[in-house]
Structure 1
Amino acid sequence: MIEARGLSKHYGERAAVTDLTFTVQPGVVTGFLGPNGAGKSTTMRMLLGLDRPSAGTALINGVSYTDLQAPLCEVGALLEARAIHTGRSARNHLLAMATTNGIPARRVDEVLDIVGLTDVARKRAGGFSLGMGQRLGIANALLGDPHTLLLDEPVNGLDPEGILWIRTLLRQLAAEGRAVFVSSHLMSEMALMATHLVVIGQGRLIAETTVEELVSAAADEHVLVRTEDVPRLRARLTGPGITLTSDAPDELVVQGLTSRDIGAAAAELGVILTELTPQKASLEEAFMKLTADSVEYDARGVA
């Protein structure tokens, strides 16, 4: 389990993180979201003991990372996949990490197989593509078979097959009872990968919730209706709290009624519907709405 309790970090007069409190439970993938400059990387660095908090505590399994007896075997981290000795082969890089942490050499070959780098294990890491380097960084995080994982942008540089692979892997690791904390700017992928979310903006907690709850709470649902008899249906679908909009002559976007209500009204009128589709907002739409006041770098209105 990962716990941030009143976590703050100041760089001079600038507050990067302010009074941040959240929990990452084992058994689920928890997504870490926020606009650029929100403080995500700073928070992860404090959790891993790389930055000292100005206030508050960062705990992993109840203790500070610096007090863990075997850090690599308890916490796997990916903050910068390319932070490797470029002259070493992938296998030698992992072997050096394993040797200095008391991890059996056989584990090196196991993680190389898990991340799909067995065939290039003896090639120099400096010649790896971005995606291959990312896989090596993930292998390094898995090396100690840790119960807790912190991954910053793990899908960066991966192709579609690689993105599917990391999504499946992280969900599998969580299903094994591990705590998985992962940041990403790819909202569509986070919606498929994560169950819980921690959302921050300008260094402060905005929401700690589930993907489903965030989408439901932050976005309006509507129903897309298509018919050749829009005027008659429009006249029937009136009332308090109902909003009707249209972008085409044969289309209505209805808010405030369910598809069942609309279908019943159309049947009463004898109106034939060619489409009746409930539309749920995406995680991206919910995230943009939730963090609209916390965006540090906003390009809207720039020519």
Structure 2
Amino acid sequence: MIEAVGLRKVYGKKVAVDGLSFTVRPGIVTGFLGPNGSGKSTTMRMILGLDRPTAGHVLVDGIPYAKHRNPLGAVGALLDAKAVHTGRSAARHLQAVAATAGIPASRVDEVVELVGLREVAKKRAGGFSLGMGQRLGIASALLGDPSTVMFDEPVNGLDPDGILWIRNLMKHLAAEGRAVFVSSHLMSEMALTAEHLVVIGRGKLIADEPVRQFIDRTAPRGVLVRSPQVEELRELVTAAGGHLTSAQDGSFRVADLTPEQIGDAAARRGVALHELTPQRASLEEAFMELTAGAVEYHAHGAPGAGGPAPEQQTHGGDGRQADVRQADVPQADVPQQAQEVAR
């Protein structure tokens, strides 16, 4: 379990994280969402002790991460799948991590099999595709059989089969009683995977609630109606105070009326209804609506029209200079969180 209390991080004049408090509970998948520059990466680094909070604190299973005697058994994290020794094979990389953390070598074979890298375990990691690199990073995160798992963009580079696999893996890890904390920009995946959301923008908490509750905060999307009696339907909707618009597939969207009101009015008028479905916002629509005021980077023209993309700017999304991020990349022999604890 992760408990963040009043987390604040300032880089110079830039406030990257501003008073964040939330809890990642065991047994469920918690999605961590926010626009670029919202402070997600900085928050995850503070959880692992890779960045020191300016104020506030974060606990993992009741104590700071750095004080765990078995850090890889407390949190297994995938923050940067490229943080590997490119000249080593996948198996050798995992063996080095295991040896550093006092994990039995037999565990390496287990995670290699779990992530589907058995056939390429002896190949150099430098030749791996982006998706294979993600699988290797996930294997490293699971080496210590952690009680909490933290993934940053885990489906990046995976094919559809791999996306389905990581989705089921996260659900399985949560079902085992682990706390699963995952950051992703793929709203469709979060809608299928996460049960709870922590949403931030410009370093501040926007939402900490179940997915359905988050979506229900958005404006109603109307009711989808299908009927063979089009004119009668139009008349009853208008008479009841609703507004009807037609769609290309022959259905109609009714605004300002509930499904119950439409159904009751149709019954009184003897109008047959073939479909009556309330329309809800998607997670993506809810996210865009509720974070509209917290977007730090906006596009002002077509790609290639001039000017750097947000990720190409001198400063990273959290306000730190790019060379600071480079300096934070750990030696390939040791996973990020184990390195920091060893310092």
Q: Taking structure 1 as the reference length, what is the TM-score of the superposition?
A: 0.94
Aligned to 1:232: 232
* 1:191 Cα deviation after fit: 0.7
Aligned to 2:138: 138
Q: Secondary structure at the match of 2:181?
A: strand
Question: Residues 168-224 of structure 1: CA distance to partner in whole angstroms, max 9, x if unpaired?
Answer: 011111111101100000101001111010000001000100001111122414211
CA distance in 1, matches of 2:37, 2:297: 8
Q: Secondary structure at the match of 1:149?
A: strand
Aligned to 2:56: 56
After the TM superposition, which residues 178-193 of structure 1 pair with which residues of structure 2 at under 5 Å, given as runs? 178-193=178-193
* Contact 1:228–1:250 (Cα < 8 Å) also in 2: no
- Residue 216, structure 1, aligned to residue 188, structure 2: no
Number of corresponding residues: 302
After the TM superposition, which residues 68-83 of structure 1 pair with which residues of structure 2 at under 5 Å, given as runs? 68-83=68-83
* Contact 1:222–1:279 (Cα < 8 Å) also in 2: yes
- Residue 302, structure 1, aligned to residue 301, structure 2: yes
After the TM superposition, which residues 1-303 of structure 1 pair with which residues of structure 2 at under 5 Å, given as runs? 1-238=1-238, 242-247=242-247, 251-299=251-299, 302=301
Note closer, same or farther for the CA distance 1:44–1:295 as it changes in structure 2 (3 Å cut). Answer: same
Question: Residues 48-102 of structure 1: CA distance to partner in whole angstroms, max 9, x if unpaired?
Answer: 1001111110111111111111111211000001110001000000001101111
* 1:296 Cα deviation after fit: 1.0
Note closer, same or farther for the CA distance 1:202–1:109 as it changes in structure 2 (3 Å cut). Answer: same
Worse-superposed segment, 36-45 or 63-72: 63-72
* Contact 1:34–1:40 (Cα < 8 Å) also in 2: yes
Give, as a single letter, the amino acid of the residue that structure 1 aligns with 2:111: V
Give, as a single letter, the amino acid of the residue that structure 1 aligns with 2:183: S
CA distance in 1, matches of 2:4, 2:217: 24
Whose RCO is larger (CA < 8 A, sep 6+)? 2
Aligned-residue Cα RMSD (Å) equals: 1.9
* Contact 2:220–2:279 (Cα < 8 Å) also in 1: no
Question: Residues 214-262 of structure 1: CA distance to partner in whole angstroms, max 9, x if unpaired?
Answer: 1112241421123354443233224787444445695431234333432
* 1:270 Cα deviation after fit: 3.2
CA distance in 2, matches of 1:180, 1:219: 30
CA distance in 1, matches of 2:138, 2:256: 46
| Sequence identity (%) | 65
* Contact 1:18–1:203 (Cα < 8 Å) also in 2: yes
Note closer, same or farther for the CA distance 1:164–1:241 as it changes in structure 2 (3 Å cut). Answer: farther
Give, as a single letter, the amino acid of the residue that structure 2 aligns with 1:105: A
* Contact 1:225–1:273 (Cα < 8 Å) also in 2: yes
Worse-superposed segment, 244-253 or 138-147: 244-253
Q: Secondary structure at the match of 2:164?
A: helix
* Contact 2:130–2:157 (Cα < 8 Å) also in 1: yes
Q: Which runs of 4+ in 1 moved over 6 A?
A: none
* Contact 2:240–2:265 (Cα < 8 Å) also in 1: no
Q: Secondary structure at the match of 1:218?
A: coil
Question: Residues 255-299 of structure 1: CA distance to partner in whole angstroms, max 9, x if unpaired?
Answer: 343334323322332334444333221111111111011111123
Q: Secondary structure at the match of 1:23?
A: strand
Give, as a single letter, the amino acid of the residue that structure 2 aligns with 1:13: K
CA distance in 2, matches of 1:192, 1:242: 33
CA distance in 2, matches of 1:231, 1:177: 55
CA distance in 1, matches of 2:140, 2:161: 20
Gapped regions of structure 2 (runs ≥ 5): 303-343
* Contact 1:201–1:295 (Cα < 8 Å) also in 2: yes
Give, as a single letter, the amino acid of the residue that structure 2 aligns with 1:161: D
Give, as a single letter, the amino acid of the residue that structure 2 aligns with 1:294: A
Q: Taking structure 2 as the reference length, what is the TM-score of the superposition?
A: 0.83
CA distance in 2, matches of 1:53, 1:240: 57
* Contact 1:59–1:65 (Cα < 8 Å) also in 2: yes
Question: Residues 113-170 of structure 1: CA distance to partner in whole angstroms, max 9, x if unpaired?
Answer: 0000011110000000000000000000000000011110001111111011001011
